[in-house]
Amino acid sequence: MTNSIKAVIFDVFGTVVDWRTSVSNHLAPALAAKSIDIDPLELAVFWRGRYDPAMNKIRTGERGYIALDQIHLENLEQTLEHFGLDQLFNEDEKAQMNKAWEHLNPWPDSVDGLTALKSQTIIAPCSNGSIALMTRLSKFGKLPWDCILGADIAQNYKPHPDVYGACCKALRLKPQEVMMAACHNNDLKAARACGLATAFVPRPTEHGPNQTTDLSAEQDWDIVADDFKDLAEKFKNLN
């Protein structure tokens, strides 16, 4: 029996790349250069913590769509203010710090797994990152996408249903012909509600060694894989 899935679309932050240590590593020299004695990991985690509330204003219509690059910069300013550092960095330095999100390291299995999957089907990010951000991030990490989909295409943010719908429409595929892959159960739940197939890949250290969320599949997702290489294998055997 032939696999009816014609494209697999991916969450990126957490699922494909390790934002936590990468952002921290990007911030470290900027802090060190000014002899700031704050753990860059703490800054990275606080910064990322502003992500969802900021997008929520757009999901609810309280604010019109703006690209994640801009949201990240605003959130960086709030983060620096929170740590009492806002007077220490000029606009150019903040723009440079914001580029952290374009320099996120893929998990060790990501590129090999995506490459194996790309020989079987269309692969694309379905991320809240903009086309600009995903393009640069993917170039940095050598992620072999067939195209870039996600928030910019929909002018909205996951888990709003518009985003999954817009990705299917952009590929001219029915939702049941598209599989969403993520390490976040709530992302898959939203995709399933839109009619997409689903694949779960755990990333048990996305939030560090003491992570308590998303350690395992919380529903009977169509595929539950150990990592991206396992995902490519399981996709091959999907009925």
Which chain residues interact with its own copies by CB under 8 A?
Answer: 67, 69, 122, 124, 130-132, 134-136, 138-139, 145-149, 152-153, 170-173
Angle between helices 19-33 and 91-98 (to 10 degrees): 150
Which residues does residue 182 pair with via DSSP β-bridges, in sequence order? Answer: 200
Closer to its own copies by Cβ: residue 54 or 167: 167
CA 31/CA 26 separation, integer angstroms: 10
Closer to its own copies by Cβ: residue 168 or 181: 168
Q: What share of the chain is helix, strand, coil (3-state, %, to 5)?
A: 50, 10, 40
Which residues does residue 149 pair with via DSSP β-bridges, in sequence order? Answer: 126
Q: Least CB distance from residue 128 to its own copies, whole Å?
A: 15
Closer to its own copies by Cβ: residue 96 or 186: 96
Q: Least CB distance from residue 52 to its own copies, whole Å?
A: 22
Q: Least CB distance from residue 96 to its own copies, whole Å?
A: 15
Give the count of alpha carbons within 13 A of 80, CB side only: 22
DSSP 3-state of 10: strand
Q: Least CB distance from residue 132 to its own copies, whole Å?
A: 4
Closer to its own copies by Cβ: residue 173 or 217: 173
